[in-house]
Amino acid sequence: MRRREFIGLLGGAAAGWPLGARAQQSAMPVVGWLGGGTAASQRAWVDVFVRRLGELGWIEGRTVVIEYRWGEGRAERYAEIAAEFVRLKPDVIVAGGTEASIAARHATSSIPIVFPTAGDPIGSGLVASLARPGGNVTGLSNLGTDLAAKRIEILREVFPGLSRLAVMANADYSGGVTERKEIDAAARTFGLEIISLPIRRVEDIASAFEGLKTRADALYIIGDPLMNLQHLRINIFALAARLPTMLPQREYLEAGLISYGPNFLDMNRRSADFVDKILRGAKPADLPVEQPTKFDLVINLITAEALGLRVPPSLLARADEVIE
pLDDT, tens only, 218-234: 999 998 888 888 888 99
> What does DSSP assign to residue 248?
S
What is residue 144's predicted lDDT score, i.e. its pLDDT?
Answer: 57
> What does DSSP assign to residue 147?
G
Equal fold, 8-142+263-286 vs 145-262+295-323:
yes
List the domain boundaries for the chain.
Answer: 8-142+263-286, 145-262+295-323
Residue 312: φ, ψ to 5°: -55, 140
Q: What CATH number was assigned to the domain covering residues 145-262+295-323?
A: 3.40.50.2300
What is residue 7's predicted lDDT score, i.e. its pLDDT?
Answer: 36
If you classify domain 8-142+263-286 with CATH, what class do you get?
alpha beta
Closest CA to 178 of 254, 137, 120: 120
Euclidean distance between CA atoms 245 and 239, whole angstroms: 9
Please state the pTM of the whole predicted model. Answer: 0.81
What is residue 16's predicted lDDT score, i.e. its pLDDT?
Answer: 36
Contact 299, 122 (CB under 8 A): no
At position 258, the amino acid (one-letter code) is I
Structure confidence at residue 24 as a pLDDT band (50, 70, 90): very low
> What does DSSP assign to residue 224?
-
